[in-house]
Amino acid sequence: MTDSPIDRSEFDHRSVRRDFVFGELHRPDLSPNPVDQLQHWLSAAEAAGNFDPTAMCLSTASAAGRPSSRYVLLKHLDVRGLCFYTDSRSRKGRELAENPFAALAFYWPETDRQVRVVGRVERLSEADAEDYFQQRPLKSRMAAAASIQSTPIDARTDLEARYHAIETQYPEGDVPRNPAWGGFRLVPDEWEFWQGRPSRLHDRFVYLPDLSDAQTWQIQRLMP
């Protein structure tokens, strides 16, 4: 614990607050399956005007336990888990290779909701990676081919030169996917659905696997 007081002379955000008034969350509102619940909340966030409802904060950690977080986009959701795509040479890719556990968090201010998910991460098949890569716009495929994600580069112009070299090399647009670029699935073993409520008396429910039946989840309310 540090005993030096906070310097409040600058950047004091103590008065930045709002009440959460969108709605309530009760046990009967919850789907027995957290995947259905998440799908429902994703649709509701989109309907409420959120323009990046699938953006999720992904936290990974090194083998030594040093964490790092960043946003990625959810691309598929099914009973097996939540899928995203990235470059496995990136920091997240390196951390997942040495420590396959990760956490995800969504926040949708329009609906005052947060969802947290924890689990083990597995690599999707090459066929899945290829399938999604080919669906991406041409310029995104070119950019993925030009970049070794999270590796230092001296100047923006060097990055653009790498991009133009790919453009020149593949004038027909048939740029191949680097095998390092692929998909990952977080297989959840813990979920939390949070509904903001007035005066910070929020509703929270966790889903944990039912140890007696792998197909079902136990739901528990938590204090805010």
Ligand X SMILES: Cc1cc2nc3c(=O)[nH]c(=O)nc-3n(C[C@H](O)[C@H](O)[C@H](O)COP(=O)(O)O)c2cc1C
Catalytic residues: 200
Binding-site residue total for ligand X (CB under 6 A)? 15
Quick note: the x/- pattern for ligand X over 57-76, rule CB under 6 A, is -----------x-xxxx---
Out of 52, 160, 174, 210, which residue is the one contacting ligand X (CB under 6 A)?
Answer: 52
- Nearer residue to ligand X within complex by CB, 39 or 149: 149
Window 105 to 144, contacts with ligand X (CB under 6 A) = none
- Nearer residue to ligand X within complex by CB, 44 or 55: 55
Q: Which stretch binds ligand X (CB under 6 A): 5-13, 84-92, 165-173, 199-207?
A: 84-92
CB of 18 to ligand X, least distance (A): 22
By the rule CB under 6 A, 55 interacts with ligand X: yes
Q: Is the dihedral of CA 135, 137, 139, 144 positive or negative?
A: negative
Out of 20, 41, 84, 207, which residue is the one contacting ligand X (CB under 6 A)?
Answer: 84
Residue 142 CA to residue 164 CA, distance in Å, equals 9
CB of 131 to ligand X, least distance (A): 16
CB of 40 to ligand X, least distance (A): 21
- Nearer residue to ligand X within complex by CB, 121 or 219: 121
Interface residue list for ligand X (CB under 6 A): 52, 55, 68, 70-73, 84-86, 90-92, 149-150
